[in-house]
């Protein structure tokens, strides 16, 4: 039974692969139309040459066999180049099909207010920006939005491919939801943040399919270089008949076209679009949506990474592990004060303070007529104003000292306790009542496994890592040393991230950062690469130029590697293509002129059978090398952390020297195979 099931699956995969290939070849033929060919000048010249050789053969400029052979080989060359681009696009469309399944004819329950119990059933397409909708367990979320009430576990497999449910909650940085995903438990009220037809899923599909693909700056620059080289060689080849006239050498159009095709960089010209599309596809395979190919490419050039400590370097689930009261304060007093300040603190840390106090036997009673001060990333304080006039606050050391209008130098015990907690890599939170410091809460976090090795890998690439944290300098230094980051910013506010990015950019560096909250949006927009979390707020996703569907902050490291692989792949194949041309010169030029100019025999190192076999051998090699390189263009050259000098050396040895030697061998072998056929 199991064997039968596997057999059926294998048959289905084979059928799918066959259809996939058929679709790619169909699109390759469609791309022969002038409106498509003009987008790739190098291959457009080859296509024009194909037509010229066909017409020249028909009017008797060369033997029928030779002329049609050249025409056929040139046609195959163009089709292989088109196929490379078509197969890359087909892969993207295949990836988009699963996304399209999530975009169904959904309905929505629209509410008049978030407290409304009755909603009106409408089509999801009728939803407008800022509409409020209710979604219950078992229902699909009809539109992109932010949860403004409630929490729920959500299955995002339709978008991310990950079946494990995720928690989304109002009032946190994990409040963003995507249309087409499914609510598994509880009830949520969502505020719509995208118009119909402009949802995150719609844009993802368009990007993945390639309809919105824009050429990257490097791709444009290389395309211009290839075009200039092509024009230069056209001028050179067109001058040859005039030179031949003085030497009494007649060169027919078919030979001229063949020579031109071998001189111009057809290999990289044919593969360049596929390399660009494949870069986007590799990003998607890593569950990253790049809003443009430029973003993928820039990622390969970044030399500074700005990373949040929490969730990126550490697991992010900091938990209160101990209360340390100062002299004259009982542990119960400290616990009570800490609990009161945490009642309005929705962060995991705030919740853990309440949980620890309960575990230690503290009764939690919410006071009446009290004013809660919610936690704020800017002030880094939460607290409560009691009805009797007392003010209690909990927060970072410097923030609490500022609140209590006190100096650390006057609190030797507090200073010692904070140092003790920080030296362990934990985070100290200080609690104060009015102007009196009550004690310290210890928050413990754990550094992620393997993170130190990843930073070492980045250092090998010449990339500087900067950790950003709201912790005090002692804690930040301890964690930075343990994690192996190059630098850190302690007691950071949202604007500090922005300032740090600007400072590094002013020094000429390209900066990447990761974020998920609305307060991260300015920094994400300022950074050269902004990686937003899919679970984050809509503002963050709009500001970033990449979105991580897995909401894994460490994915930034993978983004850099994908970008570098893109640059390395294009560089390696360009080197190989240009090196190929050198060998083809030695194959064709001596064969053309050696009969009339015996002195050129010294250049005829390949000793090919005849001028016709030399031309056909070079053209055949020129045609077959493109499909042979398609897997490398789509998969990318294997990336190893190394310096620019090491990369250049490896490129020149493997793809430069190899690109020169391979054609010599291959063309000679092809010549030995076809020479007997031509002599018949």
**What pLDDT sits at residue 112?**
85
pLDDT at 151 over 80: yes
**What pLDDT sits at residue 52?**
93
pLDDT at 514 over 90: no
pLDDT at 16 over 50: no
* DSSP letter, residue 251: -
pLDDT at 674 over 70: yes
Which conformational region is residue 247 in: left (phi greater than 0), alpha (psi within -120 to 50 degrees), or beta? alpha
Question: What would the DSSP string read from start to end of 503-540?
Answer: HHHHTT--EEEEE-SGGGHHHHHHSSEEEEETTS-HHH
Lowest mean pLDDT among 197-201, 331-335, 458-462, 521-525: 197-201
- Quick one: average pLDDT of 62-74? 89
pLDDT at 212 over 70: no
| Three-state secondary structure call for residue 551 | coil
CA 415 to chain centre: 44
Q: How confident is the model at residue 213 (pLDDT cuts 50, 70, 90)?
A: low
Which tops the pLDDT comparison, 161 or 380? 380
Q: How confident is the model at residue 5 (pLDDT cuts 50, 70, 90)?
A: very low
Determine phi and psi for 655, rounding to 5 degrees.
-90, -20
**What pLDDT sits at residue 606?**
74
Residues ≥6 apart with Cβ < 8 Å to 652: 575
Q: How confident is the model at residue 342 (pLDDT cuts 50, 70, 90)?
A: confident
- Quick one: average pLDDT of 592-608? 69
Q: Which of 470, 514, 489 is nearest to 377 (CA)?
A: 470
- Residue 423's H or E segment, with its range, is helix 412-423
Q: How confident is the model at residue 1 (pLDDT cuts 50, 70, 90)?
A: very low
Q: Are 158 and 102 within 8 A, CB to CB?
A: yes
Q: How confident is the model at residue 289 (pLDDT cuts 50, 70, 90)?
A: confident
pLDDT at 154 over 60: yes
- Quick one: average pLDDT of 523-547? 81
pLDDT at 456 over 60: yes
Q: Which of 491, 489, 484, 483 is nearest to 513 (CA)?
A: 489
**What pLDDT sits at residue 441?**
92
Which tops the pLDDT comparison, 7 or 647? 647
Instruction: Decide if 308 is catalytic.
Output: yes
Which tops the pLDDT comparison, 72 or 298? 72
Tell me how far apart the alpha carbons of residues 544 and 291 are, in angstroms, rounded to a whole number.
9
pLDDT at 484 over 80: yes
pLDDT at 216 over 70: no
Task: Express each pLDDT in 239-248 by its tens digit.
Answer: 888 877 776 7
Share of the chain above pLDDT 70, in %: 87
Q: Are 475 and 488 within 8 A, CB to CB?
A: no
Task: Express each pLDDT in 346-393 by its tens digit.
Answer: 777 788 888 899 888 888 778 888 888 887 767 778 888 988 888 999
**What pLDDT sits at residue 4?**
45
**What pLDDT sits at residue 6?**
46
pLDDT at 214 over 50: yes
- Quick one: average pLDDT of 108-129? 83
pLDDT at 543 over 50: yes
Lowest mean pLDDT among 415-419, 441-445, 550-554: 550-554
| HEC secondary structure over 16-36 | HHHHHHHHHHHHHHHCCCHHH
Tell me how far apart the alpha carbons of residues 281 and 574 are, in angstroms, rounded to a whole number.
20
**What pLDDT sits at residue 431?**
92
Average pLDDT, the chain: 81
pLDDT at 134 over 70: yes
- Quick one: average pLDDT of 258-283? 83
- Quick one: average pLDDT of 255-263? 86
**What pLDDT sits at residue 311?**
67
Tell me how far apart the alpha carbons of residues 279 and 74 are, in angstroms, rounded to a whole number.
28
pLDDT at 147 over 80: yes
Q: Are 421 and 427 within 8 A, CB to CB?
A: yes
Share of the chain above pLDDT 90, in %: 8
Tell me how far apart the alpha carbons of residues 519 and 285 are, in angstroms, rounded to a whole number.
29
**What pLDDT sits at residue 55?**
93
- Spot the catalytic one: 131, 173, 202, 308: 308
CA angle (318 as vertex; 312, 323 as ends), nearest 5: 155
Q: How confident is the model at residue 30 (pLDDT cuts 50, 70, 90)?
A: confident
């Amino acid at each position: 039974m199991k064997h039968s099931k596997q057999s059926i699956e294998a048959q289905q995969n084979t059928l799918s692969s066959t259809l996939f290939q058929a679709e790619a070849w169909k699109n390759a033929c469609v791309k022969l139309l002038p409106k498509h060919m003009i987008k790739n000048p190098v291959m457009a010249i080859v296509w024009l040459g194909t037509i010229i050789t066909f017409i020249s053969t028909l009017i008797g400029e060369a033997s029928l066999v030779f002329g049609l052979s050249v025409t056929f080989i040139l046609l195959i060359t163009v089709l292989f180049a088109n196929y490379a681009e078509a197969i890359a696009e087909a892969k993207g469309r295949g990836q988009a099909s699963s996304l399209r399944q999530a975009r169904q004819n959904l309905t929505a329950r629209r509410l008049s207010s978030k407290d409304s119990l009755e909603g009106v059933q409408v089509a999801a397409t009728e939803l407008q920006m800022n509409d409020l909708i209710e979604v219950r367990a078992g229902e699909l979320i009809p539109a992109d939005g932010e949860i403004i009430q409630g929490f729920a576990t959500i299955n995002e497999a339709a978008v991310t491919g990950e079946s494990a449910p995720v928690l989304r909650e109002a009032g946190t940085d994990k409040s963003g939801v995507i249309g087409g995903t499914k609510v598994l438990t509880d009830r949520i009220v969502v505020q719509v943040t995208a118009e119909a037809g402009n949802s995150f899923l719609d844009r993802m599909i368009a990007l993945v399919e390639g309809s919105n693909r824009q050429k990257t700056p490097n791709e444009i620059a290389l395309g211009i270089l290839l075009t200039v080289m092509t024009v230069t060689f056209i001028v050179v080849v067109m001058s040859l008949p005039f030179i031949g006239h003085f030497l009494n050498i007649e060169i027919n159009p078919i030979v001229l076209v063949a020579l031109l095709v071998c001189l111009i960089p057809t290999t990289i010209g044919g593969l360049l679009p596929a390399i660009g599309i494949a870069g986007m596809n590799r990003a998607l395979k890593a569950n990253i949506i790049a809003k443009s190919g430029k973003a993928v490419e820039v990622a390969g050039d970044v030399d500074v990474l700005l990373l949040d400590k929490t969730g990126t370097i550490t697991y992010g689930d900091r938990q209160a592990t101990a209360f340390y009261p100062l002299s004259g304060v009982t542990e119960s007093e400290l616990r009570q004060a800490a609990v009161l300040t945490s009642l309005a603190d929705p962060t995991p840390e705030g919740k853990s303070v309440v949980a620890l106090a309960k575990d230690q036997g503290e009764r939690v009673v919410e006071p009446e007529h009290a004013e809660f001060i919610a936690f704020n990333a800017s002030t880094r304080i939460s607290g409560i104003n009691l009805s009797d006039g007392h003010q209690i606050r909990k927060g970072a050391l410097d923030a609490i000292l500022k609140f209590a209008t006190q100096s650390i130098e006057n609190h030797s015990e507090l200073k010692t306790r904070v140092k003790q907690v920080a030296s362990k890599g934990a985070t100290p939170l200080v609690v104060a009542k009015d102007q009196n410091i009550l004690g310290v809460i210890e928050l413990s976090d754990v550094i992620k496994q393997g993170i130190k090795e990843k930073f070492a890998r980045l250092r090998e690439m010449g990339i500087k890592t900067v950790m950003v944290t709201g912790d005090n300098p002692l804690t930040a230094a301890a964690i930075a040393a343990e994690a192996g980051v190059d630098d850190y910013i302690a007691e950071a506010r949202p604007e500090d991230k922005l300032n740090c990015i600007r400072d590094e950019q002013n020094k000429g560096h390209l900066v990447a950062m990761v974020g998920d909250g609305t307060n991260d949006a300015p920094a994400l927009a300022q950074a050269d690469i902004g990686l937003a979390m899919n679970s984050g707020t809509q503002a963050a996703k709009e500001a970033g130029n990449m979105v991580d569907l897995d909401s894994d902050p460490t994915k930034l490291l993978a983004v850099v590697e994908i970008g570098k692989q893109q640059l390395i792949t294009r560089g390696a194949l360009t080197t190989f293509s240009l090196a190929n041309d050198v060998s083809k010169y030695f194959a064709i030029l001596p064969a053309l002129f050696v009969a009339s100019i015996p002195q050129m025999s010294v250049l005829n190192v390949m000793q090919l059978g005849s001028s016709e076999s030399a031309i056909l051998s070079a053209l055949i090699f020129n045609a077959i090398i493109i499909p042979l390189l398609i897997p490398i263009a789509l998969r990318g050259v294997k990336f190893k952390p190394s310096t620019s000098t090491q990369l250049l050396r490896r490129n020149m040895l493997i793809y430069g020297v190899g690109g020169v030697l391979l054609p010599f061998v291959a063309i000679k072998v092809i010549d030995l195979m076809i020479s007997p056929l031509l002599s018949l």
